[in-house]
Amino acid sequence: MSDIEAGIGSIGKIKIIRALAQEGKMATIYLLHKKTGLKREDIKNNLDDLVKIGWVRQTKYASVMYGLSENEQVARLVQFFRDVGYVGQP
């Protein structure tokens, strides 16, 4: 499976990428749950996949935080989402 297929292979992953792009900073699973309406377990599973392909980075502070990676594929996907109005402009 390609990174593109793994990265956008479910509506949950698309919602997570959208939420992180809109947030513009690191986010907790709690915040992603609030923004996406997805179950926490689904968020964790999708984040694991996105971290594995390098589209999302994970950092541990007091809580585990997630943010979009500086990756050309991710940047183009987020730009596409902006172009079609799925993600607001920064």
Any domain includes 87: no
Tell me what pLDDT residue 89 has: 63
* Blockwise average pLDDT, block size 10, the chain, 90 residues: 82 96 94 97 96 94 90 93 83
| CATH number of domain containing 19 | 1.10.10.10
Q: How far is CA 82 from CA 11, 43, 49, 56, 78, in A?
A: 17, 22, 23, 18, 6
Is 22 inside a domain boundary?
yes
Tell me how many domains the chain contains: 1
Cβ(29)–Cβ(44) below 8 Å: yes
Strands (E), 1-90: 56-60, 64-68
Question: What is the C-alpha to C-alpha distance for residues 21 and 41, in angstroms, rounded to an integer?
Answer: 21
Domain region containing 53: 3-81
pLDDT of residue 90: 55
- Tell me, what amino acid is at 68? L
Residue 51 in domain: yes
